[in-house]
């Protein structure tokens, strides 16, 4: 039994690394089993196939992030007389993933880059597997945001929360530390220095006027109620 567990864990570790470095479609099951020093049929035996292996890789690393997010949100909601602010909700959503994305010593660091790569490459075979872990947690955060920003519809809040995921991809792939603007890079290992301006920026976006009454951008009229033209 112990040997089987060891093989399963090796397959997960190797698959996580190769999927992250080469992408899902660029990594073969054969390559995974060779580098994991496992039998060629090991993936099918332990997981059922390459697609199911990816699912296991994602769940293994995403569950701690999801649990940390929900624990923080529940703590914020513990006081019924003081609903959490937009900034606090965003902190609960971003910080658990931010820590894992920016700290290589954390065993879940690589998964942030893997998820980012999968969301960008969108391999059709596994699209639902990549997005499924986010569905439940996004719904919980939308509930909280509806209370914090009652003038914005749930549909539009979802669009804005989706943009928050885009910001996480930006951070996870290291774009905020790109050498093109080295003078503006945040201090190494200073999560708060990264998180503070990001939350301030995103919170302002959530409080922006609704765009649901926006008209065609081809028109000379303002895009949405509350916005004015330059005239």
pTM of the model: 0.76
Domain-by-domain residue ranges, the chain? 1-48, 61-207
- Domain 1-48 class in CATH: mainly alpha
In the block, tokens 């040997």 appear at: 3
pLDDT digits (tens, 9 = 90+) for 173-222: 665 555 555 555 656 566 677 788 899 999 999 999 998 765 444 544 44
CATH number of the 61-207 domain:
1.10.357.10
pLDDT digits (tens, 9 = 90+) for 25-43: 999 999 999 999 999 999 9
């Amino acid at each position: 039994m112990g040997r089987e567990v060891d093989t399963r864990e090796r397959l997960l570790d190797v698959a996580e690394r190769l999927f992250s470095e080469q992408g899902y479609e660029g990594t073969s099951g054969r390559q995974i089993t060779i580098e994991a020093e496992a039998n060629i049929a090991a993936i099918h035996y332990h997981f059922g196939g390459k697609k199911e292996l990816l699912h296991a890789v994602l769940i293994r690393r995403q569950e701690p992030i999801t649990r940390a997010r929900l624990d923080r949100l529940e703590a914020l909601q513990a006081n019924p007389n003081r609903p959490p602010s937009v900034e606090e909700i965003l902190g609960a959503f971003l910080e658990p993933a931010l820590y894992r994305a920016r700290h290589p010593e954390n065993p879940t660091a690589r998964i942030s880059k893997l998820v980012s790569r999968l969301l960008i490459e969108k391999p059709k075979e596994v699209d639902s597997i990549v997005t499924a872990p986010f569905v439940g947690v996004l719904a919980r955060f939308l509930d909280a945001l509806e209370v914090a920003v009652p003038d914005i519809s749930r549909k539009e809040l979802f669009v804005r929360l989706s943009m928050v995921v885009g910001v996480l991809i930006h951070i996870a792939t290291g774009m905020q530390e790109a050498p093109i603007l080295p003078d503006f890079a945040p201090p190494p290992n200073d999560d708060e220095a990264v998180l503070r301006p990001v939350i301030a920026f995103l919170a302002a976006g959530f409080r922006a006027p609704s765009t649901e009454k926006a008209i065609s951008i081809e028109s000379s009229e303002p895009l949405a109620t509350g916005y004015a033209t330059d005239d």
